[in-house]
Amino acid sequence: PTYFIVLLFITRLISTLQGIKTSKPPNHHHHGRHFPAGTLRTDPTAVSAAATDYGHIVHRRPAAVLHPSSVDDIVKLVNLAYDHNVRNHNNNSTSAGLTVAARGRSHSVRGQAMAAANGVVVDMMRLRTARFDKNVNVVVSSSSKPPGPYADVGGEALWIDVLEAALRHGVAPVSWTDYLYLTVGGTLSNAGISGQTFRHGPQISNVHEMDVVTGTGKLVTCSPSTNADLFYAVLGGLGQFGIITRARIALRPAPKKVRWVRMLYSDFSAFTSDQERLITVHASRKQEHDTTAEVRNHNDGGGLDLELDYLEGSVMVDRGGPPSNWRSSFFPTSDAPRIVSLVAQHRVIYCLELAINSYTNHHHHLDTELERLLQGLSYVPGFAHSKDVSYVDFLDRVRGGELELQSRGLWEVPHPWLNLFVPKSRIAEFDSGVFKDIVLRRNVTTGPVLVYPMNRNKWDERTSAVIPAAAEAEEEEDVFYTVGFLHSSGHEGWEEVEEQNREIVEFCERSGMGVKQYLAHYATTEEWARHFGPKWTRFRHRKSEFDPMKMLSPGQRIFN
Ligand code: FAD
């Protein structure tokens, strides 16, 4: 019966969406991205393209795929689906309701942007094509509200689009993800974290306003002062409350150059103490500075006169050979033997990574300042390396690795990723129980393993994002860590990695660490309720308000 209902719905949809026609199955002249936007596709090519994602673990085929040419197409689709579900509900129909899933860059790894046979996927990449060059609008004038420059950005825009458009005006967003080929709507539905988060907060802390198509098919503008509950619900909201079609992103003057530094540590507590010290000193810095002079003269008593704008870290585990992943090619090749023997000697070593912004092309002052900064740190002597790169090259640093992996056929492989937020008070225990035990013993880890701290006060409690509870730890937790196992495996090996993920999660649960998953995936409502903890009641309440028919982003498996 579901099949027929969906068929009926789609027929109705086609006749109602004025100007939107179903296209014929592709002929040989059409390769993927050249289809015109504004069509509803039910052919196998379109449907199977929407049935996979970056994870290559979950596969689910939707009934149809909307290639929107405008926001209006999305509004119409959601409206029809909503009306349909309401009618069904009033008729006490037992068939599954229709669902709608926005699909951004589909760089989720567990099917979060998918819909099943009762759903329509909205391919936001088609909207990007349809309104490319119009989807990032930079406003630099300081007289406008909110204060400071901002960009109005389509939810379908990639962060690289935002960066390129903003830089033409000498400005840029302040909070990033490591990889820029993700959509604004997709990362704002999670949090959007990277090495800038300790200082500027996640991307969801740097949004002024949004346009959202809610689950009742209304296009609503929301901000901290208008429709505030929708605004905070959507940020970190896992696509549950509406489809973001516009976001107003805060901008600042863009740095010109970046001094990019990595240091190796053999001792975990030295590594984390240095990370925590650095983010504590630098997080409190005044954020608005338009001139280099102001940046350079800014000294808050920490003894460090730098603009540290990025801090991350990673773990290197001895696998009996040279480390190889998209992040390992930083040190000079001549250092490789020394690094290999350091890893072999300690079995697990750590790499602290930071970046210092320079606002002019004359950045000789960085030499002395960097030297001073490094003097206070306890990395293994002789294992620090730095390079100067342009701001764009720094932010877009993962792209080179991606293209290389793509050329070797190693990008479109299973990615059983596990991302965790670990309270600061338990991170040493995590190191000994996970990195130095589970990971070493199982010896299946491929791809980067990231570890870096963030400041809790840069996260807004009102958003839907979930971070470790301050109360779950013995002490006041001002800082928590993100740990990312960004595994990539062969098509055969991912189950072993998944076994390791399970063991890690069980270890954390058994130890009562109060760990939370980031980019979480669960199969049941009960597990989600536990994940949200004290935020669950509000999350559910917001769901019944903004998506009462529980149509949106079914691939998260929270309400579906
Ligand atoms: P999708 O996977 O397409 O969608 C994600 C979810 O959001 C789905 O539920 C979908 O239905 C919903 N959604 C999509 N668009 C919208 C919209 N416009 N409105 C409402 N809901 C929507 N994350 C970080 O925080 N930091 C990183 O450094 C980072 N690096 C990454 C690097 C790589 C190589 C990859 C593959 C992922 C990385 N991620 C990172 C994770 C990434 O932020 C999330 O997977 C994000 O969801 C990807 O965006 P997307 O556009 O592909 O979203």
Q: Using a pLDDT cut of 90, give the percent of the chain over it.
A: 72
Residues 89 and 149 in one domain: no
pLDDT of residue 298: 38
CA distances from 475 to 425, 451, 516, 526 (A): 8, 21, 17, 28
- Answer yes or no: is pLDDT of 18 > 60: no
Residue whose CA is at the smallest distance from ligand 1 atom 35: 107
Distance 181 CA to ligand 1 centre (A): 9
CATH number at residue 214: 3.30.465.10
Residue whose CA is at the smallest distance from ligand 1 atom 40: 177
Distance 307 CA to ligand 1 centre (A): 29
The secondary structure of residue 432, as a DSSP letter, is I
Residues 63 and 189 in one domain: no
Domain membership of residue 524 (yes or no) is no
Give every CB contact of residue 408 below 8 A, 6+ residues apart in sequence: none
Residue type, 65: V
Scan for tokens 């349809």, then name that residue. 130
Residue range 411-423: mean pLDDT, rounded: 96
Instruction: Give the ligand 1 atom nearest the CA of 212.
Output: 19
Residue range 98-125: mean pLDDT, rounded: 97
Structure tokens of 396? 């877009």
Residues 83 and 47 in one domain: yes
Domain membership of residue 533 (yes or no) is no
ipTM of the complex: 0.99
| Pocket of ligand 1 from Cβ distances under 6 Å | 54, 101-108, 112-113, 124, 155, 177-179, 182-183, 185-187, 189-194, 238-239, 243-244, 519, 553, 555-556
Q: How far apart are CA 160 and CA 183, in angstroms?
A: 9
Q: How far apart are CA 351 and CA 290, in angstroms?
A: 32
Of 299 and 531, the structure prediction assigns the larger pLDDT to 531
Residues 67 and 160 in one domain: no
Domain membership of residue 537 (yes or no) is no
Pairing verdict, β 150-154 and 136-139: antiparallel
pLDDT of residue 281: 74
Residue range 43-63: mean pLDDT, rounded: 96
Instruction: Give the ligand 1 atom nearest the CA of 158.
Output: 51
The C-alpha torsion from 360 through 261 and 307 to 177, rounded to 10°, is 100
Residue 454 · residue 518 · CB < 8 Å: no
Chain centre distance of CA 175: 11
Distance 284 CA to ligand 1 centre (A): 29
Instruction: Give the ligand 1 atom nearest the CA of 178.
Output: 28
Catalytic, out of 312, 353, 396, 547 = 312
Q: How far apart are CA 250 and CA 8, in angstroms?
A: 44
Domain membership of residue 539 (yes or no) is no
Residue range 126-153: mean pLDDT, rounded: 87
Tell me which of 65, 182, 244 to substitute to probe ligand 1's pocket, judged by most ligand atoms within 8 Å of the beta carbon: 182
First to last CA, the chain: 18
541 is annotated as an active-site residue: no
pLDDT of residue 474: 53
Structure tokens of 33? 């991205």
Residues 146 and 285 in one domain: no
Of 201, 221, 254, which closes a domain? 254
Bridge partner list, 262: 353, 385
Q: How far apart are CA 455 and CA 255, in angstroms?
A: 23
Distance 147 CA to ligand 1 centre (A): 28
* pLDDT tens figures, 194-219: 999 999 999 999 999 999 999 999 99
Residue whose CA is at the smallest distance from ligand 1 atom 36: 107
Residues 177 and 110 in one domain: no
Tell me which of 187, 219, 487, 551 to substitute to probe ligand 1's pocket, judged by most ligand atoms within 8 Å of the beta carbon: 187
User: In the structure, what pLDDT confidence band is assigned to residue 471 with cuts at 50, 70 and 90?
Assistant: low
Q: Model pTM?
A: 0.93
pLDDT of residue 295: 37
Distance 1 CA to ligand 1 centre (A): 33
- Answer yes or no: is pLDDT of 61 > 80: yes
Distance 319 CA to ligand 1 centre (A): 30
3-state secondary structure string, 110-141?
CCCCCCCCCEEEEEHHHHHHHCCCCCEEEECC
Tell me which of 177, 206, 310, 395 to substitute to probe ligand 1's pocket, judged by most ligand atoms within 8 Å of the beta carbon: 177
CATH number at residue 24: 3.30.43.10
Scan for tokens 């009960």, then name that residue. 526
Residues 247 and 263 in one domain: no
Q: What angle do CA 460, 146, 254 make, to 5 degrees?
A: 85
Domain membership of residue 70 (yes or no) is yes
Residue 413 · residue 489 · CB < 8 Å: yes
Which ranges of 29-158 does DSSP label H, i.e. alpha helix? 44-49, 71-90, 124-130
Residues 423 and 294 in one domain: yes
How many domains does the chain divide into? Answer: 3
Residue range 504-511: mean pLDDT, rounded: 97
**For the ranges 26-30, 153-157, 375-379, which has the lowest average pLDDT?**
26-30
Structure tokens of 556? 């998260």
Residue 403 parent element (H or E): helix 397-407
**For the ranges 16-25, 239-248, 499-508, which has the lowest average pLDDT?**
16-25
Residue 497 · residue 487 · CB < 8 Å: yes
Domain membership of residue 439 (yes or no) is yes
pLDDT of residue 333: 87
- Answer yes or no: is pLDDT of 258 > 60: yes
The C-alpha torsion from 189 through 190 and 194 to 197, rounded to 10°, is 90
Residues 359 and 225 in one domain: no
CATH number at residue 286: 3.40.462.10
pLDDT of residue 95: 78
Domain membership of residue 476 (yes or no) is yes
Instruction: Give the ligand 1 atom nearest the CA of 156.
Output: 18
Residues 306 and 336 in one domain: yes
User: In the structure, what pLDDT confidence band is assigned to residue 304 with cuts at 50, 70 and 90?
Assistant: very low
Taking the CB of residue 121, how many other CB atoms lie within 10 A of it? 29
- Answer yes or no: is pLDDT of 293 > 50: no
User: In the structure, what pLDDT confidence band is assigned to residue 93 with cuts at 50, 70 and 90?
Assistant: confident
pLDDT of residue 252: 94
Tell me which of 108, 230, 411 to substitute to probe ligand 1's pocket, judged by most ligand atoms within 8 Å of the beta carbon: 108
Domain membership of residue 527 (yes or no) is no
Of 470 and 15, the structure prediction assigns the larger pLDDT to 470
Pairing verdict, β 64-67 and 99-103: unpaired
User: In the structure, what pLDDT confidence band is assigned to residue 326 with cuts at 50, 70 and 90?
Assistant: very low
Q: How far apart are CA 272 and CA 274, in angstroms?
A: 5
Of 254, 270, 293, which closes a domain? 254
Q: How far apart are CA 38 and CA 65, in angstroms?
A: 11
pLDDT of residue 291: 35
Residues 337 and 444 in one domain: yes
Bridge partner list, 209: 248
Residue whose CA is at the smallest distance from ligand 1 atom 42: 187
Pairing verdict, β 348-358 and 219-222: unpaired
Q: How far apart are CA 466 and CA 312, in angstroms?
A: 20
**For the ranges 28-42, 159-173, 220-234, 494-508, which has the lowest average pLDDT?**
28-42
Is residue 404 classed as helix, strand or coil in its secondary structure?
helix
43 is annotated as an active-site residue: no
Residue range 363-370: mean pLDDT, rounded: 76
- Answer yes or no: is pLDDT of 271 > 90: yes
Of 254, 281, 314, which closes a domain? 254
Of 511 and 373, the structure prediction assigns the larger pLDDT to 511
Residue 7 · residue 98 · CB < 8 Å: no
pLDDT of residue 43: 94
Instruction: Give the ligand 1 atom nearest the CA of 552.
Output: 11
Residues 323 and 366 in one domain: yes
Residue 496 · residue 485 · CB < 8 Å: no
Residue whose CA is at the smallest distance from ligand 1 atom 33: 179
Structure tokens of 189? 């539905």
282 is annotated as an active-site residue: no
- Answer yes or no: is pLDDT of 146 > 70: no
Q: Which domain holds residue 76?
A: 2-128+549-556
- Answer yes or no: is pLDDT of 11 > 80: no
